[in-house]
Amino acid sequence: MSKHFTVLKRDPNSKARLGRLITAHGAVDTPCFMPVGTQGTVKATLPRDLLEIGCQILLANTYHLYLRPGHEIIRELGGLHRFMGWDGPILTDSGGYQVFSLAAMRKITEEGARFQSHLDGSHHLLTPEHAVEIQEALGSDIAMVLDECVGSDTPREYVQESTARTVRWAERCLRARKARNQLMFGIVQGGLFEELRRWCVDAITPMTFDGFAVGGLGVGEEEETLHAIGNFTVALLPEDRPRYLMGVGRPQDLIRAVRAGFDMFDCVIPTRNARNGTLFTFQGKLNIKRAEFAKDPRAPDESCGCYCCGNFSRAYLRHLYMAGEILSAQLNSLHNLYFYHRLMDKCREAIRDGRVEIWMELGKIGDGA
């Protein structure tokens, strides 16, 4: 049994579970959503505001912080928590997805991932050992192993080769691990092939990881395929460890994934959509750019308790966006992150109280206006 994670209750209406994850910087109630603070900041959002909306844990990225300002600088300045002014738990991604996105600028070998920096074109080698070293320097609460993410259209032969390499890299990450107060999660790859997903689970779950993530989804596949592979894989993972679905984040996808048994999520969708003028509500998405809102005195979501909805109108938010004001991104991001945390609150309530009507309510969330 894991000493860091406890399943507190199981939902009688699905495979969802209520859990608690203990880290060096505090406890996290699951299921939970992790706002993405790639470069040591959740874009357009103060740490103070994140605390006020009930954020429990943030995600930061190894690749970006390694390149700028550098993990040794962050170590010298007291670690990532002090550097970014956040005293709660932090999970750091290993950089595997960012390397995947640099298809024209990287080469994968058994040794690791050779790539050119997107900042200045300089050459780097990210090995499993180096990924662990960087994350230990950052001092995050949860470190991810280095893996290779492949696209949804990748041929099976390469996916098989890549998945086996990801397992070998996971073993190397464990051997390189020194910081025992930092949890480490393994990652299950295997593309869209069930037999490769099963093989990867069988190979990686006997290892002494504190949790397991499912990667390589949300990279171009159809929605039903995403959920079919996700549901298949999560059912194979150990019951006593947290299960993390990486990078998937539309509200309707999160609800389905929670009901399938996933515990942790991250995605840039709430903050990226906010900067593009899209707000999430329990009635669906709201495109604040639309001309129909130019004189609309209503709150973006009259049922929402966030600072944005309590103080500003749709007309004002549209004005800010059209004027290119920085406050537009700030208020929209605050609202969307508040919505995502209330979504997780409702999921936990549905599990805790066995209330099927909450699942029915959440199931009505659509694309909206």
pLDDT in tens, 182-193: 999 999 999 999
Domain count of the fold of the chain: 2
Mean pLDDT of 3-8: 97
Q: Which domain does 305 fall in, by range?
A: 269-369
Catalytic annotation present for 266: yes
Give the domain-ending residue among 218, 242, 267. Answer: 267
**Res. 369: pLDDT tops 50:** no
Cβ contact 232:244 at 8 Å: no
Q: Do 241 and 299 belong together in one domain?
A: no
Distance CA 206, CA 179 (A): 21
Catalytic residue among 11, 93, 263, 301: 93
Q: Do 124 and 181 belong together in one domain?
A: yes
Q: What is the band of 367 on the pLDDT scale with cuts at 50, 70, 90?
A: low
**Res. 101: pLDDT tops 90:** no
Q: Do 201 and 168 belong together in one domain?
A: yes
Q: Do 224 and 288 belong together in one domain?
A: no
Q: Do 164 and 273 belong together in one domain?
A: no
pLDDT for 191-217, tens place per residue? 999 999 999 999 999 999 999 999 999
pTM of the model: 0.97
Q: Do 233 and 303 belong together in one domain?
A: no
Catalytic residue among 49, 253, 263, 266: 266
Catalytic annotation present for 240: no
Q: Do 220 and 287 belong together in one domain?
A: no
Give the domain-ending residue among 219, 252, 267. Answer: 267
Mean pLDDT of 109-120: 92
pLDDT at 105: 78
The token duo for 282 is 């329990």
Give the domain-ending residue among 246, 267, 288. Answer: 267
pLDDT at 71: 98
* Residue 112 zone, left/alpha/beta (φ > 0; ψ -120 to 50; rest): left
Sign of CA dihedral 96, 244, 23, 87: positive
Which residues face 243 on adjacent strands? 212
